[in-house]
Chain A
Amino acid sequence: MPVNETLSNYSDMAYATSVVIYIAAMLLYFGEFALGRVATGTAAREAALVGSSNSSTVTTADSRDVVGHVPAKPKRPLAEKLGGMAVSMTVLGALVHFGSLLTRGLATDRVPWGNMYEFGSAICLAAVVAWLIVLFRQLRNSRREATPAQLRGLGGFLMLPVVVLLFLSGTVLYAQAAPLQPALQSYWIVIHVAAAIVSSGALLFAGTASVLYLLRSRYENNPLKMSKFGSRLPTSQALDRMAYRATVIIFPVWTFAIVAGAIWAEAAWGRFWGWDPKETCAFIAWIVYAAYLHARATAGWRGVRSAWINVLGLAVMIFNLFFVNLVVSGLHSYAGL
């Protein structure tokens, strides 16, 4: 099957465009983050948010405040405008990014994740979509756990690794559009790799939330530390919960990705599990995430320690993506690299 050059060129152009849009979105998020004032009444609200978990009733006025109803103001402050633009840019970027993958797939008449470049790109899209889902769900939810501004504070920190990853994928790892090598010609590439992409993207989001959790909890333990930075983040409890929920939802998917990989390996390599470096690393990441879930249920491990475990899990995932694919030679091979 010959490659459609026109479409593949469009795909490359869309890719570059989406990176530019993401960078703009990131800067806008950071702009809001930097300008966002530490809202008046923050202290009181924060006390209510952070404070004792026993208090079961919260006055209406307070919950209003938490929900983020800014008392009627003639104009939206600049910071909030930036935040709104950042979200729009993220959506736009994700659409263009999706277009890039779609045209790549059409150009080659196969799934657009047949080599490292495409795989990295797809993971980033999954992470951005995971972020948008969390954001919109939280904004819709009347029982939201953080103000919209605090929530958007996460955005820049998620876009940062996404932009770095996309930049590396688009330069170092770039591969011309080409058909799949025979080893990858199987419907399992649709199932196994799609599951791996979705999990990696969601776990990237979860890991970012845990990193911010660690920063925020430093501030909460001592409000004098990083007070500007820390106060603009969602509460540690909200961050912890976001990280946990994302991990919990995606962990069965990641398990499925590994099992599907084993089923594919049985058909392709003659055994379902052979401790190939990539398999080994996936296993390690799985064990680390299992440890994270256990830690959350173990007294003395909740909070900071379990957040560290989640960050470690993300580190293993990234290590698996880059180091194992590029440095260690295994059976997992991607065309054009």
Chain B
Amino acid sequence: MREHLKTAFAFLRNTWRGLTSMRTALVLLFLLAMAALPGALIPQRSLNQTEVDKYFQEYPDLAPFLDKIGMFEVFSSVWFASIYVLLFISLIGCLLPRCWDHYKQWRSKPVRTPRNLGRLPHHAEKTFQDSSVDEAISAAKKRLRGWRMVEHEEADGARSISAERGYLREAGNLVFHFALVGLLIGLAGGKLYGYEGQVIVVADGSEFCNSGTYNYDSFRAGLSVDGTQLSPFCVKVDDFDIKYQPSGQVASYHVGMQYQSEEDLENNAWKPYVLQVNHPLRTAGDRVYLTGNGYAPQFTVTWPDGQKRTSLVQWQPMSPQTMLSQGATKFDQPGVTDEVQRRQSQMAITGLFAPTASYDGKILSSGYPDLLDPTAAIDVMRGDLGLDSGRGQSIFGVDQSMVEQGRLKRVARENVRIGEEIRLDDGTTVRFDGVERWANLQVSHDPFQTSVLVFAVLIIFGLGTSLIVKRRRIWVRAAPHPEPGETPAARTVVEVGGLARTDQAGYGEEFARIADDLLGADVDHSPQPRADAGTARERKS
């Protein structure tokens, strides 16, 4: 029984050692890099569902298999998570003992001066004719201010100093690795408590309030978000100014809007804001972004009995270059209460909208994204829109099955410009009143964003410190010369030795400067042509 326990314990210990070894960290880093690669090469659901659908069409055999192993959601897949979790366990397992070691080193004194400084990779020596041991040592102490130093009394009247510097290197390295852990925790927090919603708001003074998920066109909730606790605020989009270059490229976007949050909500005050790309509105802990735009044509239908309905609905841009848009604006005839009759008199205006009409033969297309010659090519449909069928319906089109069943019929097809009117067989008129722009707004919430930023900054500083600071040692020994001098002043041999503890080159230059300062510039120090021949890497691996 004890044997078993012992074996089990040994196994656990070896596993832990293996997991926290540098070699394992290396392998896991590679695995992580490889695991992330498909995320860059294969379309990802979280980024672009359309691309994923296209992939399924192009590779009908391969795609389902890839789907099964999570290739379309690499970054939320189990295997990706298992790699980074292992890496972070390894990291923490490696950090804790390193912290302890570093603490001990930091508390301990620099090591004693080696007997033979001549054997060190950096070495210099000079005999002074008129300087005592004490003078030499105090000069050295002055020069080495800022170094951690201890002094030793040695045999035969010699004294020496051992000095060490660069403890910050290891400290920076530890800060860096811990900040990685902190960053990961922040990311996880964002996944749990963040949310993101998209909504289209027409720029005619329409309003949007972040009061519930139902106000959004689409909403992505963090794992611990149920949609009941959204930060309360409202925005109103008044106007949308887009400037284009002659090439059709957008030069600038300016969304004129107003918003209210916190106490403004109670006293119904609005603050103005100009929303631009790269300049989100930040309010109530949320951010509001402009992520898209398009046109919303306005139509008025006048029935023969004089009743009127006006509707302004967003249409969907088909190409960002020309802003040719498609959509469907749907109407119920007012005053019709009978269900059967209602299903025969519903109307939809569908088709294309071109901000700058240009014709492919007779087919309307758009030559420029700005409103130079707004024209709509519309089909007026009458009958049953199928809105009561219980099936969800795109706001950008009509239910084609109603058309196929003949329950929704086309009653007119015409190109109309602003102000033009179409008269239908029964005397109903459809007028194209004008067009507004709409803005697609994204609302994002991530309470951990700031902490992620702080850790990212720590990562950079930790890294910089750990890569720039060099851990190095220097020893100075002053000893009375074996043959006393002729002058009354003492004759002293001063030796300097140096050792870099990390394999950063460059210590040689610093050593040479210090040696020059202590011994005078004429001294011949014996560095190798190869810098830092004997670096001591005392790191654990």
Contact = CB atoms under 8 A, between A and B. Distances in A.
Interface in A142-184: 143-145, 178-179, 181-183
B277 A183 contact: yes
Contacts of B23: 298, 300-301
Interface stretch (A99-107, A198-206, A265-273): A265-273
Nearest to A144: B529
B529 A270 contact: no
Given A54-B534, A182-B253, A272-B449, A294 B456 contact: no
B453 interface: yes
* Residue from the set B75, B277, B464, B526 with the largest chain A CB neighbour count within 10 Å: B277
Given A256-B460, A297-B539, A287 B119 contact: no
B289 interface: yes
A111 interface: no
B30 A328 contact: no
Contact of B460 (A255, A270, A294): A255
B53 interface: no
Nearest to B74: A275
B33 A53 contact: no
Contact of B22 (A56, A248, A297): A297
B123 interface: yes
A251 B22 contact: no
A250 B121 CA distance: 28
Contacts of B251: 179, 182
Nearest to B277: A182
B529 A275 contact: no
Nearest to A60: B524
Interface in B17-60: 22-23, 25-26, 29-30, 32-33, 36-37, 39-41, 44, 46-48, 51
B277 A58 contact: no
* Residue from the set B26, B249, B442 with the largest chain A CB neighbour count within 10 Å: B26
A280 B531 contact: no
Contacts of B75: 275
Interface in A256-296: 256, 259, 262-264, 266-277, 280-281, 283-284, 287-288, 290-291, 294-296
A218 interface: no
B528 interface: yes
B26 A294 contact: yes
A49 B529 contact: yes
A39 B9 CA distance: 61
Interface stretch (B200-208, B418-426, B475-483, B503-511): B503-511
B464 A252 contact: yes
Interface string B46-89: 11100100000000000000000000001100000000000000
Query: Is chain B's binding surface mostly helix, strand, loop or mixed?
Result: mixed
Contact of A249 (B32, B47, B467, B539): B467
Interface residues of A, number: 72
A143 B513 CA distance: 14
B161 interface: no
B459 A181 contact: no
Contacts of B453: 263, 272
A324 interface: yes
A110 interface: no
A203 to B, nearest CB: 15
B276 interface: yes
A299 interface: yes
A51 to B, nearest CB: 10
Given A49-B530, A263-B453, 20 more contacts: A54-B533, A56-B528, A56-B534, A143-B527, A145-B529, A182-B276, A183-B277, A248-B467, A269-B289, A270-B289, A271-B444, A277-B40, A280-B36, A280-B37, A290-B29, A297-B22, A298-B22, A298-B26, A301-B23, A301-B26
Smallest CB-CB A-B distances: 7 pairs? A280-B40, A291-B29, A186-B278, A287-B33, A66-B529, A277-B40, A270-B289
22 contacts: A49-B529, A53-B534, A54-B533, A54-B534, A56-B120, A56-B526, A56-B528, A57-B528, A58-B529, A67-B529, A181-B250, A188-B278, A241-B505, A245-B505, A252-B460, A255-B459, A270-B280, A272-B452, A288-B30, A290-B29, A291-B33, A328-B40
Interface of A: 48-49, 53-58, 62-63, 66-67, 143-145, 178-179, 181-183, 185-186, 188, 237-238, 241, 244-245, 248-249, 251-252, 255-256, 259, 262-264, 266-277, 280-281, 283-284, 287-288, 290-291, 294-301, 316, 324, 328-330, 335
